[in-house]
A and B are shown apart, each in its own frame.
Chain A
Amino acid sequence: MTAVRISDDALALACGADAVAEAFEAAGCKVERVSSWGMQWLEPLVEFDGRGFARVETRHVKAILGEDVRQCIGRIEAHPFIARQRRLTFARAGKTRPLSLDDYIATGGWAGLTRARSLAPQDVIAEVVQSGLRGRGGAGFPAGIKWKTVAEAPGRRKYIVCNADEGDSGTFADRMLMEGDPFALIEGMAIAAHAVGADQGYIYVRSEYPHAIQKLNSALDLSAEIVAPFRVEVRVGAGAYVCGEETALLNSLEGKRGEVRAKPPLPALAGLFDKPTVVNNVLTLAAAPHILREGGSALYQSLGTGRSRGTMPIQLAGNIRYGGLCEVPFGITLKELVDEIGGGTVSGRPIKAVQVGGPLGAYIHPDQFDLPFDYEAYAAADALIGHGGIVVFDDTADMRAQARFAMQFCAAESCGKCTPCRIGAVRGVELIDRIGAGTRIADPVGALPQMHNAPKTARTCEEDIALLEDLCETMRFGSLCALGGFTPYPVLSALKNWPEEFE
């Protein structure tokens, strides 16, 4: 009897995968629940008899078993969406059962850890440095250098903290990895632990990801003996975007308000409970097993462009025809990503803007679609790669509303520690509203008769826009962390690329 493979990834479930799996079982099939290939527009995607069947509903089951090929997309691995990718971190996606140790071992699982443990810690670090791996969470700091700092920091107790607080809209790679290949993350953490001399790790997962939390807990139970004496515990966040910032996350782990800490001291020297701590994103840690395998670091180093080495799991989301997970070497252009791989908008209307890097990322105009996916190139264009999320908008998008949303989001999620962010974001919303209202309102301070030095006339639209730009500068340079500091990116990029919408 051939097994039918159906994903149990949260997105597949949201698209009805459980009911489809039950229907195949009721029809007498053996169903295997595997991770997702990441071809999300096709979910629930069913693999039967070596071929894929797309957007399957329970009513299709009988026909598929009866050799009806209407929903057949052929061999999944040969599908153009998959064929043009270079999957390292997501090499197992779609192929293995997430909680099967057998599947994990059969696909090279624990090979990286075994080899790392046969090496001296400093040699492990040297390989990670040599691979060129940079933090996949957003800032892009070289992972090996961070590990080295922690390894060399004085103190006996050290921690590995995995930042799994994937709060950016348009991102889901962490979630997919935690649900689909949880052992890879655990193996990566164990490698980091060996490299720096830590015996305790924490995975801080956002509460919006209940399926990932469940899978991780089961995976930790199953692999406890393998990674011992290193121990890992899952901690659940409580709905605060700012806890994705590493120092806020540490405070939250300690049971405090998720307020950002001023740096220095670096978490590498004084992190969790003031002890030297590696804080890395899910994808950064999950890349470690590949790098530590025989020959892995050279392969990693050979892919990519400039100082951005290796592959990046890019997430195609929003109004896009072929949305999903696309892991490719750095250097790919936005045009290739959204037009060729993504197939344009799902609404069929022209693309107006693409927000890259989450709610704090810039809105990119189609004129800039040749920008290569590379940390430095984005920084030079006043944009950011962030966690690799790409959100496509069609021509119905209202860019002033998007700019306002960015300020509003910052106001709602600000930790409150610094004024440019806490107050500035609120003022930003007010200003954008005033620009949009079109009616010029006299300055309330100037309206008081005793304020004889204050301007008596209302600010013009140009003056309000200049004020907004000035406010953005203040937030950008005066904020303690990325929330206040990067909110100007979506606002200023909207203003710069679509000025007519602010008149």
Chain B
Amino acid sequence: MSQGKRLAEIVAAHAHREGPLLPILHDVQAAFGCIDREAEATIALALNLSRAEVRGVVSFYHDFRVEADPRPEVQLCRAEACQARGVEALVPAAEAAAGDRVRLSTAYCLGLCSVGPNARVGDDLFARLDEAALVKLIEAA
């Protein structure tokens, strides 16, 4: 299916909702890995917004990207409770394991704060990580 057609479908699926922009952006991001110029223009037109308004929203939220990044992503929690359980000591090894192949990003709390350090890969969660387990997780991503 062409990108234009898929985009139109996503927009149509949410058009009846109150305040449809965020649900649309989530779906576009899920379908294309980002919200690019073309998507931005289509969405703006459909919702009767300026492109600047759409871009303003996209850039505000950490979840949205303007350019796709095809690399697998591992999100490591580095918030206070995981800090207290030693996550920072794992970071150098994690970065080395990730290299350029894996996007190692940071989450601020996955809600598993008593069993950290924790990480998320897609919708899968991993608790009680030590250096070996985290490196293995990144290498398998």
Contact = CB atoms under 8 A, between A and B. Distances in A.
A391 interface: yes
Given A10-B112, A13-B125, A172-B113, A258 B61 contact: yes
7 contacts: A14-B115, A172-B111, A238-B63, A240-B61, A255-B47, A318-B81, A323-B113
A172 B79 CA distance: 13
A238 B26 CA distance: 8
A478 to B, nearest CB: 22
B114 A208 contact: no
Interface string B12-28: 00000111111101100
Interface of B: 17-23, 25-26, 47, 56-57, 60-64, 79-85, 107-116, 118, 120, 123-128
Residue among B26, B80, B115 with the highest chain A CB neighbour number at 10 A: B80
Contacts of B62: 238-240
B82 A238 contact: no
Contacts of B61: 237-240, 258
Contacts of A318: 80-81, 84-85, 113-114, 116
Given A273-B19, A317-B81, A324-B114, A207 B56 contact: no
Contacts of A73: none
Interface residues of A, number: 59
B114 A316 contact: yes
Interface string A139-154: 0000000000000000
A324 B112 CA distance: 9
Given A238-B22, A253-B19, A14 B118 contact: yes
Interface in A397-430: 397, 402, 405, 409
A258 B60 contact: yes
Contact of B23 (A167, A235, A389): A235
B111 A175 contact: yes
Interface in A206-254: 207-211, 233, 235-241, 252-254
Closest 8 CB pairs of A and B: A323-B114, A255-B21, A169-B79, A238-B61, A317-B113, A239-B62, A318-B84, A14-B125
Nearest to B118: A14
A170 interface: yes
A254 B17 CA distance: 10
B110 A210 contact: no
Instruction: Kindly name the residue among B20, B79, B82, B123 whose own CB sees the greatest number of chain A CB atoms within 10 A.
Output: B79
Given A317-B113, A324-B114, A409-B108, 11 more contacts: A10-B112, A40-B112, A168-B109, A170-B113, A253-B19, A254-B18, A256-B21, A318-B80, A318-B113, A323-B114, A359-B79
Query: Main secondary structure on chain B at its contact with chain A?
Result: loop
Given A13-B125, A14-B118, A318-B80, A255 B22 contact: yes
A166 interface: yes
Given A11-B112, A13-B125, A320-B114, A170 B81 contact: yes
A245 to B, nearest CB: 14
B117 to A, nearest CB: 11
Nearest to A255: B21
Contacts of A14: 110, 112, 115, 118, 125-127
Q: Main SS of the interface on chain A?
A: mixed
Contact of A41 (B18, B115, B123): B115
Nearest to A353: B84
B113 A208 contact: no
Interface string A160-190: 0000001111111001000000000000000
A273 B25 contact: no
A393 interface: yes
A320 B125 CA distance: 20
B108 to A, nearest CB: 7
B57 to A, nearest CB: 6
Interface in A98-150: none
A196 interface: no
Contacts of B123: 210-211
Given A169-B82, A238-B63, A318-B81, A209 B111 contact: yes
A275 to B, nearest CB: 10
Contact of A257 (B56, B81, B82, B107): B56
Nearest to B77: A169
A319 interface: yes
Nearest to B64: A238
Nearest to A174: B111
Nearest to A315: B113
A346 B85 CA distance: 9
A167 B83 contact: no
B83 A405 contact: yes
B84 A393 contact: yes
A15 interface: yes
A355 interface: yes
Contacts of A273: 18-19
A8 interface: no
Contacts of B19: 253-255, 273
Contact of B22 (A40, A208, A236): A236
A204 B84 CA distance: 29
A43 interface: yes
A259 B81 CA distance: 27
